[in-house]
Amino acid sequence: MALQTRPPVITIMGHVDHGKTTLLDYIRKTSVAARESGGITQHIGAYQIQYKGKPLTFIDTPGHAAFSKMRERGSHITDIIVLVVALNDGVKPQTIESIRHIKNSKAQVIVAINKADLPGFYPDMVKGQLAEHGILVNDFGGDIEAIELSAKTGQGVDKLLETLTVMAELADYKADPEAPLQAVVIESTKDPHRGSLASVIVQQGTLSVRQDIFGDGTDGRVKSLTDENGKQLNDVKPGSPAEIVGLKEVPAVGSILKEANREYPDVAPVAPELPKELDPFANLDFDAAFGDKEKLNLIVKADVEGTLEVIEQNLDSDSVNVLAKGVGQVTESDIELAKTAGAKIIAFKIRIPGRLKQLAKDSGVKLKAYEVIYELIEDIQKQILKLIEPTIDEKVLGEIEILQIFDMKGMKIAGCRVKTGELKKSDKLHLKRGEQIIANPQIASMMHGKDEINEVKAKSEFALTFKNKKQDFQVGDVLVAYEEEE
């Protein structure tokens, strides 16, 4: 054994729109000499920078899906997770989802409070919200570092990189470059020109050109190795990423690629144990804190087997149930199953006949076809978030308070005032009692005095009735008028 210090592997996670991509882009542009290959960069799922002479490896894949696939297969690749939380938005559903993955990864964690350049917001509010979910930063009696930064302007990013470097030095991550190869697949796909591609991070051993390798359901000889800048590599040491060309089949995300003709102990790879003083979650019961959650039910159809595998690899099994999958046309039985199970149908590069579209609509089944894989994955992620936060894709048009209730000829009439915005008779509505949505009623009529009206502005008072004559509502309930954003 020849253990040597290796670079830390870092993943940036957090809620959508909190600045994860902006932060990665800022770090890449300011720290990576992409000009080495004429400024052309390619997406291989990870990249490495040098900060004050110290290498840092960043995973750039969709964090939650990749984490789930790696955990299913016993692969723990990430050493440090940067949890990004926007100063103006605080802890949101996907922040909580990220904390679940942090717990399961056994990684160190650092909080990046982003958008620190915005005036009028206070970091302590974010830190207090994090404390409610088991993330105790230094200011709140914990051991987790919290750094205020702006991914847009670069304010505080140097401090983040400095802290990551110090954390890596204290943990002193080591690996053996002479050991039998172990490389974790973090992304994979099939290219029409180059064949099966696998983006990996080496855990042990050395990955080399012309090396015979094998993995779960695939094998081959390494024809070429490239970094994220398209630069050709001869070999890749532990802690570093590369894209492999030469495998016969597309390997699954999270699978381990090994070297042929080498002996391996019959033990699954495990995460390196952190010293207790470096593990901020050593005494935290996450199961009690979070409990169970609802899952998104899907039926997946694709044009070819390879594409179907890529879609599956990007689905987070903690959040998605795939009830059925297959290659070829969407069928009537798919729609019947979706109706029975309350599932959505997604189809990739498949033409859906008009009669099946109509059948799905009549059955109350959501059926959507895609031509671009990333649009499909992003859409699924949004649907998962909607399970956790049903109003995430809604724009509020107006808020209306119910002030009085009248009975007239057996019909309940709500006397209302528009608190903010406006209301149109045709608007979609949530009926809220406190913070809970108790119904989504439809308006039958709106009256101002004796006149029937179709819209009403802020501060105005009016009366309304609902189409459902048995609709339950009380004084103090609030109607929220909204539209769904694309």
The arithmetic mean of pLDDT across residues 318-333, rounded, is 86
- Residue 360 pLDDT greater than 60, yes or no: yes
Q: Are strands 411-424 and 461-466 parallel, antiparallel or unpaired?
A: antiparallel
**Among positive and negative, which fits the CA dihedral 346, 61, 114, 294?**
positive
The arithmetic mean of pLDDT across residues 435-452, rounded, is 92
Structure confidence at residue 35 (pLDDT): 39
Structure confidence at residue 105 (pLDDT): 77
Same domain, 168 and 186: no
pLDDT tens-digit readout, 248-259: 998 888 889 999
Confidence category of residue 69, pLDDT binned at 50, 70, 90: low
- Can you give the CATH number for the domain in which 197 is found? 2.40.30.10
- Can you give the CATH number for the domain in which 100 is found? 3.40.50.300
Q: Of 259, 281, 308, which marks where a domain is finished?
A: 259
Q: Give the count of domains, the chain.
A: 4
- Can you give the CATH number for the domain in which 313 is found? 3.40.50.10050
Same domain, 102 and 210: no
Structure confidence at residue 403 (pLDDT): 96
The arithmetic mean of pLDDT across residues 127-152, rounded, is 92
Same domain, 30 and 153: yes
Structure confidence at residue 359 (pLDDT): 92
Same domain, 432 and 404: yes
Confidence category of residue 113, pLDDT binned at 50, 70, 90: very high
- Residue 444 pLDDT greater than 80, yes or no: yes
- Indicate whether 278 belongs to any domain: no
Higher pLDDT, residue 386 or 321: 321
Structure confidence at residue 40 (pLDDT): 41
- Indicate whether 279 belongs to any domain: no
Structure confidence at residue 55 (pLDDT): 95
- Indicate whether 286 belongs to any domain: no
pLDDT tens-digit readout, 33-64: 443 333 444 567 889 999 999 999 998 765 55
- Residue 287 pLDDT greater than 70, yes or no: no
Confidence category of residue 408, pLDDT binned at 50, 70, 90: confident
Domain extent, residue 135, equals 4-173
Range with the poorest average pLDDT among 35-39, 73-77, 118-122, 260-264: 35-39
Same domain, 347 and 370: yes
The arithmetic mean of pLDDT across residues 5-34, rounded, is 83
Same domain, 104 and 197: no
Structure confidence at residue 101 (pLDDT): 79
- Indicate whether 22 belongs to any domain: yes
Structure confidence at residue 435 (pLDDT): 82
Higher pLDDT, residue 307 or 465: 465
The arithmetic mean of pLDDT across residues 327-331, rounded, is 87
Higher pLDDT, residue 407 or 284: 407
Structure confidence at residue 422 (pLDDT): 94
Range with the poorest average pLDDT among 10-19, 176-185, 227-236, 417-426: 10-19
Structure confidence at residue 299 (pLDDT): 93
Same domain, 469 and 398: yes
- Residue 247 pLDDT greater than 90, yes or no: yes
Range with the poorest average pLDDT among 362-371, 378-387, 396-405: 378-387
- Residue 151 pLDDT greater than 90, yes or no: yes
- Indicate whether 269 belongs to any domain: no
Structure confidence at residue 162 (pLDDT): 97
